[in-house]
Amino acid sequence: QSCQCLAWKPHPIGVWGDESQHVVAGYSDGTIRVFSISRTEMELKMHPHSAALTAITYSMDGEMILSGGKDGLVAVSSPCTGMTIRVLTDHKGSSITTLQCTRKQYHDFGVEGAELWLATSSDRRVSIWASDWLKDKCELLDWLSFPAPADPEGLDLPPSLAVFCPWEHGALVYVGFGIKEEVLFYSLRKKQVVRKVSLPAFATSLSLSPVMPFMALGFGARLLRLQPCPAGAPQDYAGHDDAVQLCRFSPSGGLLVTASHSALLVWELRGA
């Protein structure tokens, strides 16, 4: 089976070293596998999906695994017991493109829970949830659906991508096929789009710096753009052999990894 997606397990507070490092991976047969880095072996295999996995992540405390499939189903599974405790069907029928978790204050946005997480599907819909996994609580906080013209036939549409903004509390950032080529900043408090950033084309990948108001965007024309936020002159870079399919800032914000069809580039961000 082919590996479709993977994620690192968050480090428990005060625990570091190879013994605590784990990776979870999602496969084309609907299975999830958890691997130990120190022992270089598989520790757990689960089968919560009947369709290929397209997105996967750990909860912020590492106690749950959230996985999304090509059929739009999102499963919440426990790596301790190997059991799937919840399956969400809200995005059914449209492939899950991103899953992401972030911490929250317990009563932020008027709902209980210690964690926010979002799911994005290829039909330009984003669901935002507040969860307390220890109490088996999972509450829908917001539901977004971004408009777009009729799908052009025969063309590959850019992915729908949404991430929580690390330097703007209560906001998320969205890119995807839409009315215009732009980045949208959505406020969970105001429940509306509060800012837009124009782009030269529809983005194929997105990553936000964890330490400063800066985002990286990849495009189909082999272009990488570094965009200061909320405003500032963008910096464009060539170097890829195909569409830039992946952008990822390092946790320190000092490095950026980008990937295309057959090239993996590591960029050093000076001054970060």
Which tens digits make up the pLDDT trace of 219-267? 999 999 999 998 789 999 998 889 999 999 998 899 999 999 888 999 9
Q: Do the domain assignments include residue 241? A: yes
Q: Do the domain assignments include residue 180? A: yes
Contact 214, 228 (CB under 8 A): yes
Q: Do the domain assignments include residue 256? A: yes
Q: How does pLDDT run across 126-179, given as a tens digit for each residue?
A: 999 999 988 889 999 999 999 988 876 767 889 999 999 999 989 999 999 999
Q: Do the domain assignments include residue 208? A: yes
pTM of the entire structure?
0.92
In sequence order, the 6+-apart residues with CB closer than 8 A to the CB of 46 are 31, 32, 33, 65, 77, 82, 84
Q: Do the domain assignments include residue 250? A: yes
Q: Distances in Å between the alpha carbon of 154 and those of 55, 151, 157, 244? A: 25, 9, 9, 20
Q: Do the domain assignments include residue 166? A: yes
**Listed residue (21, 15, 9) closest to 65, CA to CA:** 9
Is the peptide bond preceding residue 230 cis, with omega within 30 degrees of 0? Answer: yes
The domain tally of the chain equals 1
Q: Do the domain assignments include residue 224? A: yes
Q: Indicate if the pLDDT at residue 105 is higher than 80.
A: no
Q: What are phi and psi of 132, to 5 degrees?
A: -130, 95
Coil, helix or strand for 109?
helix
How confident is the model at residue 15, as a pLDDT? 54
Please give the share of the chain, as a percent, with pLDDT higher than 90: 76
Give the CATH number of the domain where residue 187 resides: 2.130.10.10
Containing structural domain, residue 223: 148-271
Q: Do the domain assignments include residue 249? A: yes
In sequence order, the 6+-apart residues with CB closer than 8 A to the CB of 191 are 142
Q: How does pLDDT run across 11-35, given as a tens digit for each residue?
A: 765 555 555 689 999 999 999 999 9
Structure-model confidence comparison of residues 204 and 18, the more confident one: 204
How confident is the model at residue 14, as a pLDDT? 56
